[in-house]
Structure 1
Amino acid sequence: MKNTIKILAVAVVMICFVSCKKDSKPNYQYMPNMYEPVSYEAYGEYGVFPGGQEAMLPAKGSIPRGWMPYDYENSNVGYQKAKDTLKNPVRYTKENEEKGKELYNIYCAICHGEKGDGKGPLVKREKILGVPSYADIGRAITEGSIYHVMYYGINSMGSYASQTNEQERWQIVQYVEKLKADLEGKTPRIDTDVVVTEVKEEEAHHDSTEEHNNAH
């Protein structure tokens, strides 16, 4: 008798669940938190936001994490100021040069050429014209002017500020200066104090190893 009651109770519950389904109306949500998102959807419309739109501009004066303001304006005056005063804060090492080469070949070589002579694939196909060599005396590019142009773009060249971070742009600057030196028959810059430091560290390690061996 007890088993029969249990079976009937289960059957009634199942019938209740099945009877809730009706194709002409939405089904009941027994656990709404499994269906309704807790967070706001990107670009969603919500009354709690000004204008009812979730997507808003950042607060005035706010700075994204990991991003540093660039204090040179996008103008001829700003360009000249950067050209004359802006210096590369990244050390000129072989490691940074190799990283700069990798990035240069991705973003720059298509127009400027692998040698920096202004004869990239797009120029050879005449898809874009007027790309000068880095060794062009009339340009007299500097580390500051290279960075400024990458940040804002110039003429038909767009900005690369969104594709690269500050460190990467300065690494590209080093490699562009290396190409310029090669075209002019000069020795590319490598910071000698970095090399001396590395040599001293190796010598110190070697001396400590010898002392350790002699002690035994």
Structure 2
Amino acid sequence: MKKNIVAISKRTFVLTLGVFTLFSCVSDSDSPGLEFMPDMYRSPAIETYVDYGWVKEEINVEAMMTASAKHPPIHTIPYHGKVEDLSLYLPYHRKANSFAPVTHGLQEKHGWNLSTEAGGDYFIAAEDKNPIELTSDNEKDIFKKGKELFNINCAHCHGEKGDGKGPMVESGAYLGVPDFKNLKNLPDGQVFYSIYYGKGMMGAHAPLLNKKEIWTVVHHINKLRLDDYGAGSVQEEVVSDSSTVEEAN
């Protein structure tokens, strides 16, 4: 009985292999034949520095608004996404304190905007309001994105609850990380400034997050430190933290 089953299995395998082989054969000598899994051995024809938003005089707006490895022309501002978010890609106009080159390794030759004052623009940054306005339609997505970015970049020290008890603190590697609940009166602009340039033991996050992402994280931090924070809560008038597009031109 077992021998019959083995014999049938072998015949079935040989027959199946033969069928696949026959179907793979084509009359065109230049053809590789029928490819059953082309994605495993044929890489997609994608060129790194080709603008796929404009190919053969055909414009693909969605592709134009995606991130690209292409270098932007000199004196222009690289951005992707929605046109209305353009101001968020303008350079941050607040200056880091004069000690930043020593404490956080921020060098002017690398493009950092440094102040000659010891306090930099930290206190002036209190005037800056979050340019990403929460509405009943977008707050769910903003909080979701903010939480995702926070958990990746901040939670290892600040903790997922913002209580200052992240794994790095619990291990004893860092001390003095504050509980956000104790920073309820800290203005959004100063929260942004601290994330952007770094503060204390925390390094600058500008190389890791763009301005839109940092402001999104600020929304999440507010949700952690403030009760009932959201689109329905009382919020101050939204003012962009950057110069306008017209001023940049």
The CA distance in 2 between the partners of 1:126 and 1:160, in whole Å, is 22
Which secondary structure state, in structure 1, belongs to the residue aligned with residue 122 of structure 2?
helix
Partner amino acid for 1:110?
H
Can you give the 5+ residue segments of structure 2 that lack an aligned partner in the other structure?
1-72, 80-88, 98-118, 235-249
**Equivalent residue in structure 2 for 1:132, among 178, 185, 198:** 178
Stretches (4+) displaced over 4 A: none
Given candidates 188, 205, 214, the residue that maps to 1:169 is: 214
Q: Which amino acid aligns with 1:164?
A: L
Q: Aligned equivalents of 1:191 and 1:144: distance in 2?
A: 21
Residues 59-208 of structure 1: matches in 2 within 5 Å?
62-66=75-79, 67-75=89-97, 76-83=119-126, 85-92=127-134, 93-137=139-183, 140-181=185-226, 186-190=227-231
SS of structure 2 residue aligned to 1:69: coil
Give percent identity, aligned residues only.
37
**TM-score, normalization: structure 1?**
0.55
In the comparison of the two structures, how many residue pairs are matched?
A: 128
Q: In structure 1, what is the Cα distance between the partners aligned to 2:211 and 2:158?
A: 21
User: Deviation at 1:192?
Assistant: 7.2
Counterpart-to-counterpart distance in 2, 1:143 and 1:168: 14
Q: What whole-Å deviation, never above 9, does each CA across 1:57-109 have from its counterpart, x for those lacking one?
A: x97xx3542231111111224011112x1010112212101100000000000
Partners of 2:174 and 2:233 in 1: CA distance: 39
Structure 1 residues 170-204: Cα deviation after superposition (integer angstroms, max 9, x where no partner): 110000000001xxxx21122579xxxxxxxxxxx
Q: How does 1:22-41 map to 2 (within 5 A)?
A: none
Letter in 2 for 1:152: Y
Higher percent of residues as helix: 1
For residues 116 and 82 of structure 1, the distance between their equivalents in structure 2, rounded to whole angstroms, comes to: 22
Is contact 1:91-1:191 (8 Å) kept?
A: no
- Tell me by how many angstroms 1:140 deviates: 3.2
Question: Would you say the 8 A contact 1:134–1:141 is kept in 2?
Answer: no
Length-normalised TM-score, structure 2: 0.48
Distance 2:230 2:120 in 1: 28
